[in-house]
Amino acid sequence: MDWNEFIRNDLERGVLQNVPSSSSSSSSSSEARSDSSDSSLEDAILLDSNSESEDERDELAQLFAGYANIQFGAPRSRVDNFLEIVREKSDEEFRSDFRLYRPVAYELIASLDASGVLPNHLFGKEKKSAEFSFLLFLWFVSCGSILRDIANTFGCGTSTVFRVVRRVTEWLTTISNEHIIWPRGGNIEQTAAAFARAGANIRNCIGAIDGSHIFIEKPPEYGVVYWCRKERYSIVLQAVVDFDKLFTNVHCGDPGSYHDTRVLRRSELYNIAERNLEYLFPNGTFLLGDKGYAGVGKKWIVTPFKDYGNQTAEQADFNTRVSTTRVVVEQAFGILKNRFRYLRGIMPLRDVQFAAQLVVACCVLHNICIRSNDYGEDFREDAEDEDDNESEGEGEGEHDDNAPVNIPDNRTLEVFRQMYPGAAEPANRRVRNND
């Protein structure tokens, strides 16, 4: 079976998938370049223009909430030589501003320039260079400034800021499958060994899975379903990370009101795992998840036991080991959002698909940084909330009072038995108070 058939952007739902693949998505990249060339005339004119037509303003207003409000007020002076200023910055200042080390940023600038996605200049307009485009994008996702402030900093129009950000975002998503990679072959053993070496000593784990809210403005359609339990509008980033906090799979764009299990069932990770378990989880390997994933992915997600008042000491210890091992995914989310601070607050975006693309683009950069030995430990000042995307109730697959409970899913029970030979089996009924 060609697993690349599962790799797609769901444009109708605004959900962007990055799923395990046995090869890179070169065909997707070529299609993206072809689509770009079809509209190169229009895009080049818009990209290189410092003025904004009425149509451009309308488009920006649809994508960015509050765009009209930033068009008025006292004019601000523009910086005409920002790139020269950047080149004079020390390496420490560069990383503080752009969140990447300078050599890594300029390697990506060279790749962007070679990709051919940036339009050629027309009608005497000066082409926006790959250096200008990529540094503007990094400034956008790192500082979280509004469009006008970024435009003034880079000496361009607000529409140019958006066109550059969108173009670089699309380029990064087209190369996502080159950088967000599911463990294969020898990497499976290496990943499992790294988890096993942790203090909890859980064997055969190849990743931790969780979801995180990315806050957005109310979408123009079906806004109510994006209202999450944190009393904001959001989309969900579901991710799997390895022990080094590398993202190995991401699924982004589902509404914030969806429970963990619903998001998982809508992802291609779930579809592939349920159809061909051994392809993703050979030799009994599995993921660790929090209690929000109980009852789903029974053969490949290990979750803590739910505590109904009848837990044994072994079960409580098992829960502690699972929690301390899977914390890497929460740490990865924290580093991602603190490195790229645009993801921390409420992104002033109305377009769900573009918001999801932007998040995945940041995940790509996160992985590139880690593989360049920039682990972002200095961006860990804020930790992700545990059970971040877990709803107040049980979600899908709820338990009723008469149903057997605390019978763990197959893989969970197998792992428990391996870790605690001879321990009492989990109780299969909720403890009741008959008084």
More confident residue, 311 or 21: 311
pLDDT at res. 303? 95
Q: Match 């605390």 to its residue by tokens.
A: 406
pLDDT at res. 295? 83
Predicted confidence (pLDDT) per residue in 194-231, tens digit: 999 987 889 999 999 999 999 999 999 899 999 999 99
Query: Phi-psi bin for 180: left (phi > 0), alpha (psi -120 to 50), beta?
Result: beta
Q: Flag whether pLDDT at 346 surpasses 80.
A: yes
Among 48-52, 164-168, 299-303, whose mean pLDDT is lowest?
48-52
More confident residue, 57 or 102: 102
Q: Flag whether pLDDT at 421 surpasses 70.
A: yes
Both 58 and 172 in one domain: the answer is yes
Predicted TM-score (pTM) of this structure: 0.81
Both 213 and 122 in one domain: the answer is no
Both 189 and 171 in one domain: the answer is no
31 contacts 38 by C-beta, under 8 angstroms:
no
More confident residue, 58 or 394: 58
Highest mean pLDDT: which of 48-57, 133-142, 292-301, 340-349?
133-142
Instruction: Kindly state the helix (H) or strand (E) to which residue 43 belongs, with its residue range.
Output: helix 40-47
Q: Flag whether pLDDT at 387 surpasses 70.
A: no
Q: Flag whether pLDDT at 183 surpasses 80.
A: yes
Predicted confidence (pLDDT) per residue in 56-94, tens digit: 555 555 555 544 444 444 445 566 688 999 999 999 999
Amino acid type, 408:
P
**Dist CA 205 CA 159 (whole Å):** 46
Amino acid type, 118:
L
Both 300 and 366 in one domain: the answer is yes
pLDDT at res. 126? 73
Is 87 within the bounds of a domain?
yes
pLDDT at res. 392? 37
Both 112 and 190 in one domain: the answer is no
Is 396 within the bounds of a domain?
no
More confident residue, 320 or 66: 320
Both 164 and 229 in one domain: the answer is no
pLDDT at res. 52? 46
pLDDT at res. 307? 85
Predicted confidence (pLDDT) per residue in 5-33, tens digit: 433 333 233 456 654 443 333 333 333 33
Query: What is the DSSP annotation of 238-284?
Result: EEEE-TT--EEEEEEEEETTS-HHHHHHTSHHHHHHHH-HHHHSGGG
SS3 content of the chain, % helix, strand, coil (to 5): 50, 10, 40
Both 125 and 209 in one domain: the answer is no
How does 238-268 read in b/e, with b if 16+ C-beta sit within 10 Å?
A: bbbbbbebbbbbbbbbbbbbbbbbbbbebbb
Domain count, the chain: 2
Both 269 and 312 in one domain: the answer is yes
Query: Phi-psi bin for 376: left (phi > 0), alpha (psi -120 to 50), beta?
Result: left
**Dist CA 148 CA 105 (whole Å):** 24
Predicted confidence (pLDDT) per residue in 109-123, tens digit: 999 999 999 987 655
Amino acid type, 141:
V
Q: Which domain holds residue 313?
A: 182-391+402-419
Both 169 and 213 in one domain: the answer is no
Last-in-domain residue among 126, 155, 176: 176
Is 11 within the bounds of a domain?
no
SS3 53: coil
pLDDT at res. 7? 34
Percent residues over pLDDT 90 in the chain: 60
pLDDT at res. 69? 46
Is 409 within the bounds of a domain?
yes
Tokens of 5: 């058939």
313 contacts 416 by C-beta, under 8 angstroms:
no
Give the mean pLDDT of the chain.
Answer: 80
Say which DSSP state 323 is in: H
Both 323 and 207 in one domain: the answer is yes
What's the pLDDT band for 404 if we cut at 50, 70, 90? very low
Among 67-76, 160-169, 235-244, whose mean pLDDT is lowest?
67-76
Nearest to 375 by CA among 327, 321, 339: 339
